[in-house]
Chains A and B, each alone.
Chain A
Amino acid sequence: MSERDPSPSKGFEARLAEARAVRDGERGTKDGAAARSGMGVALRIGLEMVSALIVGVGIGWLLDWWLGTGPWLMILFFVLGSAAGMLSVFRTASGLGQGVGYKPGKGKGSERG
């Protein structure tokens, strides 16, 4: 007769806990890493190679123009630019990050190059 029966309040309790969990979850960080498609990665790699090449050639051309060293620095920096481009490709492909420095785990977002 006098047995405890908490079931009427159990529903409420559960709902309250749920609401609190939802609120706490909203405060925490969401893992919103965008899906990265292979196509996006491939296009981005191409763009990064080209950008590095443009910069390399540009620097070489400017130095040549400044120092009057003919086409040699441009050729040298073309090679360096290619190397930088390949480095970017390597880093992007191994998911090491977007740019300078070996920094792991920052490759986010699918991109169209």
Chain B
Amino acid sequence: MPQLEQIDTYLSQVFWTALCFGILWIVMWKVTLPRIAMALEQRQSRLDDDLERAALIKEEADTVREGYEKALAEAHAEGQAAIRKQTAELSEDSARRHAELTESLAKKIKKAEANIAAEKTRAMESVREVAVEAASAATERLVGVSVDAERARRAVESAMGKTGSGDGD
């Protein structure tokens, strides 16, 4: 086994091992490892920053959304109030109009009734006149006596009773 036979090479092997390992150690220690550490640290801090910023932006977005929702809710409430107000106004108006209409209708009815009453009176008047004439004509024909108009009228009036009394003079 050469490993155990070539004893004369041992010193050289140990020497070169120590030298090479020493060089590797110093280079790793002073150059390579700090560089890797720096790169890792940079990445870590960058990652932390990014995550931090993401959280911050999210918070901001939440605030904005909250504000927006609040504004929305306010606008909605305002709209509701306006609608309610409008509705109230409208109903009041219609009630008023309704009352007015009822009133005017009642007035018209009263007027019409008055007209009807007047018409009736006039009709009664003309009936009396016709009755007077008929009475005098009938008297003349039957009795042969000419009744003057004044008497005939009085007779008719008494016959008719008090119906048209208000209208006579």
Contact = CB atoms under 8 A, between A and B. Distances in A.
Interface of A: 1-2, 4, 9, 12-13, 16, 19-20, 23
A16 to B, nearest CB: 5
A16 B58 contact: yes
Interface in B36-83: 47-48, 51, 54-55, 58, 61-62, 65, 69, 72-73, 76
**Interface SS, A side:** helix
Nearest to B48: A23
Interface residues of B, number: 13
Interface centre among B51, B61, B72 (most CB of A within 10 A): B51
B61 A9 contact: yes
Contact of B76 (A2, A13, A20): A2
B62 A23 contact: no
Interface of B: 47-48, 51, 54-55, 58, 61-62, 65, 69, 72-73, 76
B61 A23 contact: no
A1 B69 CA distance: 10
B51 A23 contact: yes
A4 B72 CA distance: 11
21 contacts: A1-B76, A2-B69, A2-B72, A2-B73, A2-B76, A4-B69, A9-B58, A9-B61, A9-B62, A9-B65, A12-B58, A13-B58, A16-B51, A16-B54, A16-B55, A16-B58, A19-B51, A19-B54, A20-B51, A23-B47, A23-B48
Contacts of B73: 2
Contacts of A2: 69, 72-73, 76
A18 to B, nearest CB: 11
> Can you list the 10 inter-chain pairs with the closest CB atoms, starting with the nearest?
A2-B73, A16-B54, A2-B72, A20-B51, A2-B76, A19-B51, A23-B47, A16-B55, A23-B51, A1-B76
B76 to A, nearest CB: 6
Contacts of A1: 76
B137 to A, nearest CB: 91
Nearest to B75: A2
Interface centre among A2, A9, A12, A16 (most CB of B within 10 A): A2
Contacts of B58: 9, 12-13, 16
Given A2-B72, A16-B55, A23-B47, 15 more contacts: A2-B73, A2-B76, A4-B69, A9-B58, A9-B61, A9-B62, A9-B65, A13-B58, A16-B54, A16-B58, A19-B51, A19-B54, A20-B51, A23-B48, A23-B51
